[in-house]
Amino acid sequence: MKAASEMNPQELAEACAKIMWDDDNASQALGMDLIRVAPGEAVIRMTVTDIMTNGHGNMHGGYLFALADSAFAFACNTYNQVTVAQHCSITYIAPGSLGDVLTATARELSRQGRSGIYDISLTREDGTVIAEFRGHSRTINRTFLPE
């Protein structure tokens, strides 16, 4: 594998995502698929299964949060700087339902020094937004690849 300094931004984002994905047991166990990654961006898809529904027959909010959080993680870890969540919030707009295929689309709003802000929209296949998530990130003193 090339050193990080020899990669263009897209190659670097994809290399970091592969390293993360290979060890991301939680996202994989929940049936998530990493659809796309680019510098400061990520798209992840997941189908709502019966174990994800609550007593109202809707998708449990924790699973929706997990989907958004995974997209957030992949978006903010595209620069070869290991980055963690510092603060996250979610606003639920409409329920997810059994069988829904949901997409979390993360995009970077700001990245200054060690801090970043990312917005993640969660949508159904028909484009209906069911939740909005905002994540604040913080880089730590570690990289995925040698410089």
**Could you give the C-alpha distances from 139 to 21, 77, 83, 123, 147, in angstroms and in order?**
18, 9, 4, 28, 16
Cα–Cα distance measured from residue 75 to residue 31, given in angstroms and rounded to the nearest whole number: 19
pTM of the full structure: 0.95
Q: What is the pLDDT of residue 16?
A: 96
User: At the fourth CATH level, which superfamily is domain 4-139?
Assistant: Hotdog Thioesterase (3.10.129.10)
pLDDT mean by block of 10 residues, the chain; 147 residues: 88 96 97 98 98 96 98 97 97 97 98 97 97 98 91
Q: What is the pLDDT of residue 101?
A: 98
Burial of 7 (0-12, 13-18, 19+ CB in 10 A): middle
Q: What is the pLDDT of residue 92?
A: 97
Q: What is the pLDDT of residue 88?
A: 98
Cα–Cα distance measured from residue 128 to residue 136, given in angstroms and rounded to the nearest whole number: 24
DSSP type of residue 55: T
Q: What is the pLDDT of residue 48?
A: 98
Q: What is the pLDDT of residue 146?
A: 86
Taking the domains of the chain in order of start, what are their residue ranges? Answer: 4-139
